[in-house]
Structure 1
């Protein structure tokens, strides 16, 4: 994250050497994932997994909840913003629009709170990754009808496909499972491989994969320890998953020459924020900003929950999700950072290929 100090210089260097135009700004961003990236899809589902109520959105434009599990902008918003694009709207909000074919070309967010790689994760409460990909397939057909197959392929090959998925699967993995963590992660990656290859077959060429964070360090996990320490076992599974996902992308790259990718190690980046918190402006890295009870993590964020007065000095918004301030730093790392946080390309480098 020391690379963040060079962020302004890097940005202007990119702009001066590459120019402004279609070769710099990707056509669109298509987002797949869970509550870390949901911008309102779950608002349109019959589910208990919603965030369309206060105190969510307290720092968002207008000060109203939008369905984002955050006090303000989330990872999907910042990713689009830093690429010079508008944050793509939720699929379920635009699918029924009369001009949805054109809207699909501008980028779409399919992410759904609670979603996982596996269909069994929060089944019936969200759009699983497979369902999100099915919806994208439907959108692709509409794009082809709008501009033709050749132009649709060109459009998708110039667009960014971002994935923020896996946390809910890991949270659902029981500690007393007969399967070992390695076996469990292996089953996740086998499923993810099929999903990413399906996306490639439809037309995705530029993949951004945001790895899972150190899940044992979120307030929901810390509260289980009297000392408030991170849960080492959850962190270990997250690390296994990130390593396997990065290897999968590398294997796909070797198989498909026209595919490129950027992998962001969220675990490494977020641990740096925790361990060097004061340099990033965070004075509270354990407790949630919104909630009740021990570490504000005994009860989820609701309209009657306690709310911290300064969201910028809190790392976590609620039991599981980062604050807007934390999300902004993490995505800056993904877009502009260097190895070992992000590799083999950062998102900015990927976008200009």
Structure 2
């Protein structure tokens, strides 16, 4: 009898101990998770696989040598040798990477799967709808926001209006877009004939503003917005120059757009009650890496790691391409995109950087607002 009581007591205390352990683990997880969710909008810099689900699109990265430094050593649809900015930023706030929306779109349990956020980003996407939509090569920003509106409704159905608003008001909305619009303008005589550079840049900012207002109308309050990089210094632009130096016209347009973007964000904050944002000066940070690579551990700033031809930028990173043995030496992975090593520096700066590069506040402070 005594042995039976001992066994039952031992079993009870063992179960109680494991319950307490699980509770402690849950508590630690909730402490690590700084925001309820992260919703990602943008282009190939933050695409985690949406383009894999566009049957007609050739703008994909679901083949080698992409993903060579990813945890699985396999291509995932990221335009990178490993993780991209969306992955690193999710890690910073204690969340799993937001999954591609198109992978969940038809899932019956999608509302519960959206709770920690979702990514709408698509390689090749722009602020404008572009000229390739007949073939659906990418999901433009307008359509990404349309998709988010359906996610918002699913969350309202699951949490109720006030519950969804509380959930979303504490979440982060990441927007990384605009590079493809500038590159399209540079390469299109039709666009140049239709708009002066200033007209085109102004149209970009006003169009983006309308989409940000739509997100705000569906619960978004905390935005992380990245400016454009020094586009003229990416391998695809350098290779067009006989000297292999940066394309200064592309850099000029990117810089002028960033000026307009910063002004627009200040206006938007004054117009919309409760809106907060962190702007990342991508241009200055990448420019610093290129001008002083040794300080950041890089040795190659012009040539892509993966590709073929001059600067490995005449043919993209495809299975027949060659790639560098040490990806951490290179600023650029392919003719357009940074390496995982470069992106890690970007996200460290976005999250904890000084006001010189992230303003009016960095993401750590944005989370605490």
Report whether the alignment pairs 1:166 with 2:178: yes
Q: Is the 8 A contact 1:115 1:121 kept in 2?
A: no
Q: Hey, what's the Cα distance between the residues in 2 that align with 1:158 and 1:74?
A: 23
Show the counterpart of 1:155.
167
Unaligned runs of 5+ in 1: 1-18
Cα displacement string for residues 233-282 of structure 1 (whole angstroms, at most 9, x for unaligned residues):
00111111111111111101111230100000101110011111001111
Q: Is the 8 A contact 1:206 1:261 kept in 2?
A: yes
The correspondence for 2:118, drawn from 108, 111, 124, is 108
Q: Hey, what's the Cα distance between the residues in 2 that align with 1:298 and 1:61?
A: 29
Q: CA deviation at 1:319?
A: 0.6
Show the counterpart of 1:204.
220
Q: Secondary structure at the match of 1:207?
A: strand
Show the counterpart of 1:295.
311
User: More deviation in 337-346 or 32-41?
Assistant: 337-346
Q: Hey, what's the Cα distance between the residues in 1 that align with 2:176 and 2:131?
A: 15
User: More deviation in 153-162 or 181-190?
Assistant: 181-190
Show the counterpart of 1:230.
246
The correspondence for 1:65, drawn from 75, 80, 83, is 75
Q: CA deviation at 1:183?
A: 1.1
Show the counterpart of 2:292.
276
Q: Secondary structure at the match of 1:270?
A: helix
TM-score by length of 2: 0.88
Q: Is the 8 A contact 2:229 2:282 kept in 1?
A: yes
Change (3 A) 1:23 1:253: farther
Report whether the alignment pairs 1:76 with 2:76: no
Show the counterpart of 2:14.
none
Q: Is the 8 A contact 1:121 1:172 kept in 2?
A: no
Q: CA deviation at 1:340?
A: 2.0
Unaligned runs of 5+ in 2: 1-27
- The runs of at least 4 consecutive aligned structure 1 residues that moved more than 6 Å come to none
Q: CA deviation at 1:115?
A: 0.2
Show the counterpart of 1:45.
54
Q: Is the 8 A contact 2:235 2:336 kept in 1?
A: yes
**Aligned pairs (5 A) from 1:239-250:** 239-250=255-266
Q: CA deviation at 1:85?
A: 1.2
Output the aligned Cα RMSD.
1.5
Q: Is the 8 A contact 1:117 1:169 kept in 2?
A: yes
Show the counterpart of 1:190.
206
**Aligned pairs (5 A) from 1:310-321:** 310-321=326-337
Q: CA deviation at 1:134?
A: 0.4
Q: Hey, what's the Cα distance between the residues in 2 that align with 1:122 and 1:183?
A: 22
Report whether the alignment pairs 1:129 with 2:129: no
Show the counterpart of 2:151.
139
Q: Hey, what's the Cα distance between the residues in 1 that align with 2:346 and 2:163?
A: 34
Q: CA deviation at 1:76?
A: 0.6
Report whether the alignment pairs 1:344 with 2:344: no
Q: Is the 8 A contact 1:114 1:121 kept in 2?
A: no
Show the counterpart of 1:324.
340
Which structure is larger by alpha-carbon Rg, 1 or 2? Answer: 2
Q: Is the 8 A contact 2:32 2:94 kept in 1?
A: no
Q: Hey, what's the Cα distance between the residues in 2 that align with 1:121 and 1:110?
A: 19
Q: Is the 8 A contact 1:23 1:352 kept in 2?
A: no
The correspondence for 2:35, drawn from 26, 36, 43, is 26
Q: Secondary structure at the match of 1:279?
A: helix
Q: Hey, what's the Cα distance between the residues in 1 that align with 2:94 and 2:32?
A: 12
Q: CA deviation at 1:121?
A: 5.3
TM-score by length of 1: 0.92
User: More deviation in 113-122 or 67-76?
Assistant: 113-122
Q: Secondary structure at the match of 1:285?
A: coil
Q: CA deviation at 1:216?
A: 0.3
Q: Is the 8 A contact 2:186 2:250 kept in 1?
A: no
